[in-house]
Amino acid sequence: MTAMSRTERITVTEQGIPDVFSSHLADGFRLRMVACHEDESGFRLVYVLLRSSDDRRVELVLPVSRDEPRIPSLARLDYAVSRFEREVRDLYGITPVDHPLPRRIVRHGHWPEDWHPMLRTTEPRPAFSEDFGSFPFLSVEGDGVYEIPVGPIHAGLIEPGHFRFSVVGETILRFKARLWFVHRGLEQLFEGRRPGDALEIAERVSGDTAVGHALAFAMAVEEAAAIDVSQEDLLVRALLLELERMHNHIADIGAMANDVGYGLMNAHALRIRERMLRMNEQVTGHRLLRGGVLIGGSRVLDLPDTKAVAALAQEVAELAELTLSNATVRDRFGGTSVLDLESARRLDALGYVARASGRDIDARRDHPFIDLGDALEVVVESAGDVMSRYLLRVRETVVSSRIIADVVRRLDGHTGSGQAVQPARAGAGLGFVEGWRGLISHRVELAADGRLTRTKIVDPSFFNWTALPVALADTIVPDFPLTNKSFNQSYAGNDL
């Protein structure tokens, strides 16, 4: 890996950061995360900026005094930073001065005002209080306008999310999502662990993205400790990543048909997925591919049968054809919940949500950890509706099967070194991986003995959830579940 020297680190001051930040935005950088650190001397914020055209990484480091914890809000320069600032405020109690929308984001309404869970001095469990006022209904007035609250407990087995619709008749005027019901203090669990022991937590950030998060974490640690990874191990990682993409895409291809009442297609998708999961178990010993990624290496028990993978992808393509041969399904998918390209760019949507709206981004090509060659084709659709997101995932499944075939050929029977390295030096590192949902970002800092002092995780859902309300404007209420499924963002990966 040549990643060590790639990150440029600039220390900025409170007065200087707006200019530096905006000049980087103008240069084509996008904000990937704001990581806050509680040091002995005070707080330290790291703004991680990434440019996809040449894979350049810049970190703006802003020291913040402990006595007067505040930062200048950059919210007027970029939407993403406004949400990261609110997150830092909620978790660390650092006030973004002059923030245009200083509402709580992570902190549940029942959490006390002065309780900030990431602070070292904070007691682990506060006394909860009655409070619904912190998430007020945005009142929409007019003839026949009414509000529908849904969740966080749903009629089906879904992760907790509270949704508020302002509707007239059946048409959605405005939609607000209240997430963050599953705060587990996950980033804190990493602290003090050796990276090898923290991998299992990374695999559980979002249960369906075991490889994506484990890999981003491992890459961040490897960059921090300057650990080299062999070409074979990188190929094994690419293989695992595509297997994960396939099984998740297949599940959602079925689930979207199910949400328009076409259960027959879901039954078939589940059948195909089950074969995929059994193949995963043969490959890694775990149906959801846990245990394949190691710090400094990777290992599989067996390489997948590429013919079987190709057959699965073929079946998925046939299934999609059958699903779309139903006129009602085409009608339900087509033109539903359009996310336009401009909004996708502005909100910095990631992964298939962005690509379905015509945004040509893919970390496998833009921020590669290995060259996938011609096998990688970045699929892009332009319409931005449910149909585009559906088709995109069908086509990506086929591309993934081709990448798997190519990677298995290049591995030539090699199943990974299986070596796990214990880092033993201080450092900071970044890991960027195109998980099946989109770009996953991890940043770690290691102490001199190699233990983790801070891990910051950003799941693509953090960005993509904000695109959902935009896509839902003028959609009808009964189409919400379908739209939500076509986005399929993680609740657990978003809250941490």
Q: Which is nearer to another protein, 196 or 335 (CB)?
A: 335
Is the previous residue joined to 152 through a cis bond, with omega within 30 degrees of 0? yes
Interface residue with another protein, options 28, 149, 185, 192 (CB under 8 A): 149
249 part of the interface to another protein, by CB under 8 A = no
Please, is 456 exposed, middle or buried when counting C-beta atoms within 10 Å of its C-beta (0-12, 13-18, 19+)? buried
274 part of the interface to another protein, by CB under 8 A = no
Residues 6+ apart with CB under 8 A from 156: none
Interface residue with another protein, options 148, 168, 424, 448 (CB under 8 A): 148
Q: Which is nearer to another protein, 18 or 469 (CB)?
A: 469
- Phi-psi sector, 285: left (phi>0), alpha (psi -120 to 50), beta: left
Q: Which is nearer to another protein, 298 or 489 (CB)?
A: 489
**E-strand stretches of 156-280:** 162-168, 171-178
259 part of the interface to another protein, by CB under 8 A = yes
420 part of the interface to another protein, by CB under 8 A = no
Binding mask 208-247 for another protein (x = CB under 8 A): ----------------------------------------
477 part of the interface to another protein, by CB under 8 A = yes
71 part of the interface to another protein, by CB under 8 A = no
3 part of the interface to another protein, by CB under 8 A = no
Residues 183, 111: contact at Cβ < 8 Å?
no
Strand, coil or helix: what is 93?
Answer: coil
137 part of the interface to another protein, by CB under 8 A = no
The stretch near another protein (CB under 8 A) out of 37-45, 203-211, 357-365, 478-486 is: 478-486
String of DSSP letters for 418-435: -------S-EEEEEEEE-
263 part of the interface to another protein, by CB under 8 A = yes
Q: Residue 377 CB: number of other CB atoms within 10 A? A: 15
136 part of the interface to another protein, by CB under 8 A = no
Cα–Cα distance, 224 to 206 (Å, whole number): 23
134 part of the interface to another protein, by CB under 8 A = no
Residues 468, 160: contact at Cβ < 8 Å?
no
The stretch near another protein (CB under 8 A) out of 46-54, 150-158, 210-218, 431-439 is: 150-158
Tokens 């530096």 locate to 20
Interface residue list for another protein (CB under 8 A):
147-150, 154-157, 170, 257, 259-264, 267-268, 271, 326, 328-329, 331-332, 476-481
